[in-house]
């Protein structure tokens, strides 16, 4: 079974963190480095985060999400 795995995934320490990282690499490894082979694909999601940042700032300043209506507004905006 270990021979089926790439060398970088053999002998992973038994700790929970190491096992979780190894599992994620097995499942999503190719997607994790897709930005290297796809020229226009950004390695981060900074544009998405920046585009919704004003909602977070407004929520912190105005505390509008304390009520049900404020929560619905934030979800939709």
**pLDDT tens-place values along the chain, 77 residues long:** 556 666 666 777 788 888 888 888 888 888 878 888 888 888 887 888 888 888 878 777 766 666 777 777 777 77
pLDDT at 4: 66
Single out the residue of 46, 47, 50, 56 nearest to residue 77, CA to CA: 56
Q: What pTM did the predictor assign?
A: 0.40
pLDDT the model gives residue 65: 63
Q: Assess contact for 64 and 74: CB atoms under 8 A.
A: yes
Q: What is the pLDDT of residue 9?
A: 67
């Amino acid at each position: 079974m270990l021979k089926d795995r790439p060398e970088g995934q053999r002998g992973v320490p038994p700790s929970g963190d190491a096992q979780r990282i190894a599992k994620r690499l097995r499942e999503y490894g190719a997607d994790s480095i897709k930005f290297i082979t796809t020229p226009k694909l950004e390695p981060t999601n900074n544009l998405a985060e920046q585009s919704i940042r004003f909602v977070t700032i407004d929520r912190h300043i105005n505390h509008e999400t304390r009520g049900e209506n404020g929560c619905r507004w934030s979800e939709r905006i």
